[in-house]
Structure 1
Amino acid sequence: MESRTPPMPELEGVRHTYADVRGVRLHIAEAGEGEPLLLLHGFPQHWYGWRRLIPLLAGEYRLICPDLRGFGWSQAPAGGYDTDSRVADVLALMDVLGVERAGLLGHDWGAWTGFHAALKAPERFTGFLSLNMLHPWPLHRRLMPQSWRFWYTALLEQPLLGRWVLRNRPGFTRYLMRRGVVQQAVWEPAAMAEFVRSSREPDRARAGEALHRAFALRDIARLLLGSFKKHRLRVPTVILAGEQDFMLPPGVLAGGERHADDLRVEVVDGCGHYVHEERPDLVAKAARELFGRAR
């Protein structure tokens, strides 16, 4: 754990706790009461990435917004940044909090974690709302021509280089965030500054590098080999895709319905890679519809 704890952003109605999960101290931001809804952030954000969505849903759900290991105010151990470890963290956190079953909402890397949590333990989730993330069964003929869009991950996944870029080139992180939205005004200066600040912390930068490298070394091979085709998604799932997502254009999301009981893709017009930042109202509406149907 870092010796100096940076100040926490303030958000009305949010309470903060910590839990020891699989040997790692995780920070959890919670708000509201009711049916539990677990929100998993993406990169380079942390719990504060849900600041626009929390006020819209806190009156209806118990929102549980953990900082994944290595990010925000959670501990940053040396390892455990692969997908399977993050899934184990999520399921163990639910056990620690006494949450037997919950709705699941994730963005970016949090959504990738969400897919695999739903595959591993479908009985734990009432539904899954995925934002701006590929499902585990992409059609290669659609995905491969778009692979150039992941150029920036080649920098982040390199040992030592990835953490150096995040620590010493804050403009790179700002570029990714600005490139990820259509309407630049959604990035309040204070929020942008917070995510860049957090990414520059030595342990957070190392975690960002490890996250991308673990995906490159493990998950890409499994995608190419079709290893996920032996698994079927039983949890009702909706994917919200940004029409102008610079990383994942909606066309690459075809094909997943063949491997799922109930999977729909909805394209959000005029949005990029941060649908929850640009259209939190639409994300909240999709959540109410999906999890209300599940109830």
Structure 2
Amino acid sequence: MTIRTRDVGELDLHVLEAGQGPPVLMLHGWPQHAWCWRKVIPLLADHHRLICPDLRGFGWSEAPGTGYDPETFAADALALMDALDLDRAHVIAHDWGGFAAFLMALHRPERVDRMVILNTAAPWVDPSPALVPALARTWYVVALAVAGETLARSKPERMAESFRRDLVNPDAITPDDALAYARRLAKPQCAHATKMLYRSYLRAALEAMLRPRYQHMRLTRPTRFLFGTNDAAISPVMLRSMEDHADDLELELVDGAGHFIAEEQPGLVADRAKAFFA
């Protein structure tokens, strides 16, 4: 495994790379960084070149003052592919990285081969009364938009505890693992990125109620979606209409995992990716 900084134009991204073969871009979510793939990387590196960046503002990547939204994350990922001279790549992505991967495939389908998406809110959410209880799970969005910077910087131990609440297997992310994530998140630049990310999301969600942004866009790239059913943040109800907006998308509900499925079920994630990317 190599660790290096890649210049992608307006910022430097911290990138883990491992393996040889067809390229696979691996995009993490909040509150993590590329280390979240530590269990999956050894299972895929014999067959693929794995490229695992820290998103802007997270981990050890540069943290500019703006650009904390999935559209910019997607643009950063495409810029990283340009810097690596990659025309196309498979994608494995989780949470905010998953939303960015969807947008890569919607805006630039010629750059994306096949995708495995993990516990992510889809860009398309059709209005339904069933969404009301599902939206109750997203209370943390408001909390992080209002006080995310303060919470991340002042209470890393409490943040670490919250990361482990929906784990089916508590050993998948140990208290030390969670605290490592939380302490990195407590760095001023990462804490600021947290606040800005959730403010932009809250604003976009309110705008989408009046003018849906992606409903007219169709996903044309083959996609497999793995969803840990014990997710405390995202309800499966929010995924109901997803397949109606895609040419080739299959959803697999995974018992025995919550939101952090790559750490709770790394073998399953790797097996599904290997079979799909073959």
The TM-score normalised by the length of structure 2 is 0.96
In the TM superposition, what is the alpha-carbon distance from 1:250 to its structure 2 partner?
Answer: 2.1
Gaps of 5+ in 1: 1-13
Q: Partner amino acid for 2:19?
A: G
Judging changes above 3 Å, is the alpha-carbon distance between structure 1 residues 113 and 231 closer, same or farther for their aligned structure 2 residues? same
1:123 aligns with 2:141: no
In the TM superposition, what is the alpha-carbon distance from 1:106 to its structure 2 partner?
Answer: 0.6
Which residue number corresponds to residue 105 of structure 1? 92
Q: Partner amino acid for 1:146?
A: A
1:43 aligns with 2:22: no
Which residue number corresponds to residue 8 of structure 1? none
Which residue number corresponds to residue 170 of structure 2? 184
Which residue number corresponds to residue 34 of structure 1? 21
For residues 174-214 of structure 1, give each alpha carbon's deviation from its aligned partner in whole angstroms, at most 9, with x where no partner exists. 23311131111111344222101101101110011111111
1:143 aligns with 2:156: no
Equivalent position SS for 2:86: coil
Q: Partner amino acid for 1:213?
A: R
Equivalent position SS for 2:214: helix
Q: Partner amino acid for 2:142?
A: A
What do you get for the CA RMSD once the two structures are aligned? 1.4
CA–CA distance in structure 2, aligned partners of residues 127 and 219 of structure 1 = 27
Which residue number corresponds to residue 4 of structure 1? none
CA–CA distance in structure 2, aligned partners of residues 227 and 193 of structure 1 = 36
Judging changes above 3 Å, is the alpha-carbon distance between structure 1 residues 26 and 245 closer, same or farther for their aligned structure 2 residues? same
CA–CA distance in structure 1, aligned partners of residues 172 and 31 of structure 2 = 16
Equivalent position SS for 1:185: coil
CA–CA distance in structure 1, aligned partners of residues 54 and 109 of structure 2 = 22
CA–CA distance in structure 1, aligned partners of residues 209 and 224 of structure 2 = 20
Preserved contact between residue 161 and residue 178 of structure 2 (Cα < 8 Å): no
| One of 67, 73, 82 as aligned partner of 1:95 | 82
Which residue number corresponds to residue 268 of structure 1? 254
CA–CA distance in structure 2, aligned partners of residues 241 and 176 of structure 1 = 20
Judging changes above 3 Å, is the alpha-carbon distance between structure 1 residues 256 and 147 closer, same or farther for their aligned structure 2 residues? same
In the TM superposition, what is the alpha-carbon distance from 1:225 to its structure 2 partner?
Answer: 3.0
Which residue number corresponds to residue 154 of structure 1? 142
CA–CA distance in structure 2, aligned partners of residues 220 and 53 of structure 1 = 35
CA–CA distance in structure 2, aligned partners of residues 91 and 223 of structure 1 = 28
Q: Partner amino acid for 1:47?
A: A
Equivalent position SS for 1:113: helix
1:173 aligns with 2:159: yes
Judging changes above 3 Å, is the alpha-carbon distance between structure 1 residues 36 and 24 closer, same or farther for their aligned structure 2 residues? same
Which residue number corresponds to residue 65 of structure 1? 52
In the TM superposition, what is the alpha-carbon distance from 1:271 to its structure 2 partner?
Answer: 1.2
Equivalent position SS for 1:23: coil
Equivalent position SS for 2:42: helix
Which residue number corresponds to residue 249 of structure 1? 235
1:234 aligns with 2:220: yes
In the TM superposition, what is the alpha-carbon distance from 1:223 to its structure 2 partner?
Answer: 5.8
CA–CA distance in structure 2, aligned partners of residues 42 and 180 of structure 1 = 16
Preserved contact between residue 16 and residue 29 of structure 1 (Cα < 8 Å): yes
Moved more, 200-209 or 186-195: 186-195
Which residue number corresponds to residue 77 of structure 1? 64
Judging changes above 3 Å, is the alpha-carbon distance between structure 1 residues 268 and 220 closer, same or farther for their aligned structure 2 residues? farther
Equivalent position SS for 2:39: coil
| One of 215, 234, 256 as aligned partner of 2:201 | 215
Moved more, 178-187 or 123-132: 178-187
